[in-house]
Amino acid sequence: MADTTTHRGASAAGTTGTTGQSAATATGQSAAAATGQSAAVAQEASGAAREAAGESPALGELRAWLATNWDPDLSVGEWWERLGLAGWAAPALPEDAYGRGLSRTDAIDAAQIIADAGALGAPAGLGLLLAAPTIVAHGTRAQIDRYVRAIVTGQQGWCQLFSEPAAGSDLAGLQTRAVKDGDEWIVNGQKVWTSGGQYADMGMLLARTDPDVPKHQGITWFAFDMHQPGVEVRPLREMTGQALFNEVFLTDARVAADAAIGPVHGGWAVANTTLAAERAGLGSGAGGVGATAIPGTVAGNLERRAGDVVDAGRTRGETSGSHLRRVDARLLAELARALGRIDDPVVRQGLARLYTWGELGRFNSLRLKAVTEAGGDIPAMPNIAKLSMSHIVRLGRDLGLQIAGPAGLLHGYDPAGQASLAGRIHPLVRVVTEAALLAQAPPIYGGTDQIQRNILAERVLGLPKEPGPDRTTPFSALPRNG
Ligand SMILES: Cc1cc2nc3c(=O)[nH]c(=O)nc-3n(C[C@H](O)[C@H](O)[C@H](O)COP(=O)(O)OP(=O)(O)OC[C@H]3O[C@@H](n4cnc5c(N)ncnc54)[C@H](O)[C@@H]3O)c2cc1C
């Protein structure tokens, strides 16, 4: 997919390598547990509803497969091997690339069916969400078998080494250099905001391999080994109190020539596939469905009993106030009722507004699905979906804090803080404050709201691109800060 636009968001829009996703990853909380339903009741109810709606036959096949294959006594690594090789970890990938060739909507339903069955879901994180679809689209058969197999079976965790201190929205301005040395490249530079870098075995590395051509033309996408001298991962603490992302310093690190995904110097088009996958994942609200765990050799989950990971997430969800529940109109109505604010006309208006935006997003997804299945497309719908998601997150934040009142000023940043608040404020207030602290992230990650609007302006409305020399001037001749 060639893309010659200037900005990251030119085809960008976000990471469930987002804080939200990483949090879901860390706790492994199941959706059924979060709503307080037993897994069996949830399974029966949602399964019946889907069958009545005429679900894809592949999803019926998944139910049958789960009935014979899910075994809580398997280790996480053994279960993911089974799930991944059967094509159910990443069912939207093609059948000859460890998937099932399902539509995105059916793939999200598949994740829900796995959760409803009380089984451990697919490996969490950016390997499955971003690296796998990119390598399938641009990699060789050997690269697919080497990298994608390890992703769908959870053997390797991945991070995204795209952003740099001076290259976020202007991703094509990245300065990390890779210089050829025989059969290898030597890499020097700094990346930042690397979600999950502390657990990653591999990184999706964008590096400049030719500085003497215009900036979009001299970049290469590498599958980069994080376990080597010259790779230093330093955590960054966020306002949520957690340290989910990092700075990564690369000093004379090495990457083999056969780890370049797609053409050397042609990495911008490859990066755009990654960014498109990111945008589609965020706009759809995918990720974080059901119980899961961080994959790879660093997080230490592969040897755990799969059933224990599911149970631990469920217990944590019940005792902690189900802090990963989505802050939607239903949750806030529940909180407003509990706090005696449900008759407040301003609160009621806010709930109606939030509900309406949620429904609009759902209808747009269904519309896109119908148009896509009929062979058409709705230009820029993923950008619109990402903007809409950012808006919904802000509405939920503001309404949630309004309903919580003064208690919304209190937040338990760690287990001790949470324990001191337990029993003194309603447990859903913690859901609200956590979501409020996280709400700043979606309008930034994967392409900011402003960049999404630039894309809509240039690509859909046909407005002129921003003037500048970047398209014709060699990168090495462009003016630079510092
Ligand atoms: C929670 C989180 C997780 C992240 N995870 C990762 C990750 O795993 N890997 C990774 O590589 N990156 C990650 N990022 C980085 C993210 O992609 C960048 O923060 C984002 O692309 C914005 O870049 P920036 O922070 O450099 O802001 P800048 O690009 O410096 O932008 C600053 C402000 O200027 C505005 N602006 C910039 N250019 C324009 C323009 N042309 N027109 C109008 N307005 C403009 C922006 O909208 C923004 O408001 C993450 C970010 C967050 C918040």
Q: Are residues 372 and 430 in the same domain?
A: yes
Between CA 152 and CA 127 the distance in angstroms is: 8
Residue 61 a catalytic site member: no
Catalytic residue, chosen from 55, 278, 434, 458, is 278
Q: Could you tell which of 18, 169, 221 is best to mutate to test the pocket of ligand 1, judged by most ligand atoms within 8 Å of the CB?
A: 169
| 8 pocket-lining for ligand 1 (C-beta < 6 Å) | yes
> Rounded to whole angstroms, what are the CA distances from 278 to 66, 266, 335, 359?
28, 20, 32, 22
The CA 446 to ligand 1 mean position distance, Å, reads 7
| 176 pocket-lining for ligand 1 (C-beta < 6 Å) | no
Taking only the tens place, the pLDDT of each residue in 430-478 is: 999 999 999 999 999 888 999 999 989 998 899 998 888 888 899 999 8
| 447 pocket-lining for ligand 1 (C-beta < 6 Å) | yes
Residue 416 CB neighbours (<10 A) = 8
State which ligand 1 atom lies nearest to the alpha carbon of 466.
Answer: 41
Residue 319 lies inside a defined structural domain of this protein: no
| 168 pocket-lining for ligand 1 (C-beta < 6 Å) | yes
| 446 pocket-lining for ligand 1 (C-beta < 6 Å) | yes
List the chain residues with pLDDT less than 50: 1-7, 9-45, 285-286, 318-323
- The reported pLDDT for the residue numbered 17 is 31
| 322 pocket-lining for ligand 1 (C-beta < 6 Å) | no
Q: Are residues 85 and 198 in the same domain?
A: no
CA dihedral angle for residue 302, residue 307, residue 308, residue 309, rounded to 10 degrees: 60
State which ligand 1 atom lies nearest to the alpha carbon of 191.
Answer: 11
The CA 364 to ligand 1 mean position distance, Å, reads 26
Q: Are residues 59 and 107 in the same domain?
A: yes
Q: H or E element: which one contains 251?
A: strand 245-256
- The reported pLDDT for the residue numbered 49 is 53
Closest CA to 124 of 397, 267, 324: 324
- The reported pLDDT for the residue numbered 324 is 52
Between CA 177 and CA 102 the distance in angstroms is: 38
Q: Are residues 267 and 291 in the same domain?
A: no
| Residue located nearest, by CA, to atom 27 of ligand 1 | 168
Cite the DSSP H helix spans in 139-250: 141-143, 149-152
Q: Are residues 337 and 398 in the same domain?
A: yes
- The reported pLDDT for the residue numbered 283 is 54
CA dihedral angle for residue 436, residue 437, residue 438, residue 442, rounded to 10 degrees: 80
Strand partners of residue 260: 222
Residue 301 CB neighbours (<10 A) = 26
Residue 458 lies inside a defined structural domain of this protein: no
- The reported pLDDT for the residue numbered 15 is 30
> Rounded to whole angstroms, what are the CA distances from 315 to 19, 34, 426, 458?
21, 9, 18, 48
Q: Are residues 282 and 143 in the same domain?
A: yes
Dihedral sign of CA atoms 72, 74, 80, 85 in order: negative
Q: Are residues 298 and 394 in the same domain?
A: no
Beta strands 158-161 and 202-208 are parallel
State which ligand 1 atom lies nearest to the alpha carbon of 165.
Answer: 26
| 127 pocket-lining for ligand 1 (C-beta < 6 Å) | no
Residue 316 lies inside a defined structural domain of this protein: no
DSSP state of 16: S
- The reported pLDDT for the residue numbered 465 is 87
The CA 450 to ligand 1 mean position distance, Å, reads 10
The CA 247 to ligand 1 mean position distance, Å, reads 14
Q: Are residues 299 and 267 in the same domain?
A: no
| 162 pocket-lining for ligand 1 (C-beta < 6 Å) | yes
Angle between the N-to-C axes of helices 306-319 and 76-85, in degrees from 0 to 180, rounded to the nearest 10 = 100
- pTM, two decimal places: 0.86
| Residue located nearest, by CA, to atom 24 of ligand 1 | 168
Q: Which residues of 132-159 are buried (b: 16+ CB within 10 A; e: fewer)?
A: bbbbbbbbeeebbebbbbbbbbbbbbbb
Residue 22 lies inside a defined structural domain of this protein: yes
- The reported pLDDT for the residue numbered 29 is 26
Domain total of the chain? 3
Residue 220 lies inside a defined structural domain of this protein: yes
Between CA 93 and CA 106 the distance in angstroms is: 12
Q: Are residues 133 and 280 in the same domain?
A: yes
Q: Are residues 259 and 170 in the same domain?
A: yes
Domain with 430 in it: 326-447
Between CA 166 and CA 125 the distance in angstroms is: 25
| 445 pocket-lining for ligand 1 (C-beta < 6 Å) | yes
State which ligand 1 atom lies nearest to the alpha carbon of 6.
Answer: 41
| Residue located nearest, by CA, to atom 37 of ligand 1 | 169
- The reported pLDDT for the residue numbered 342 is 98
Q: Are residues 245 and 337 in the same domain?
A: no
| 16 pocket-lining for ligand 1 (C-beta < 6 Å) | no
Residue 103 CB neighbours (<10 A) = 15
State which ligand 1 atom lies nearest to the alpha carbon of 9.
Answer: 21
- The reported pLDDT for the residue numbered 382 is 82
The CA 91 to ligand 1 mean position distance, Å, reads 30
Residue 90 lies inside a defined structural domain of this protein: yes
Between CA 248 and CA 177 the distance in angstroms is: 14
Residue 110 lies inside a defined structural domain of this protein: yes
| 194 pocket-lining for ligand 1 (C-beta < 6 Å) | yes
State which ligand 1 atom lies nearest to the alpha carbon of 126.
Answer: 8
Q: Could you tell which of 444, 456, 470 is best to mutate to test the pocket of ligand 1, judged by most ligand atoms within 8 Å of the CB?
A: 444
Q: H or E element: which one contains 366?
A: helix 345-373
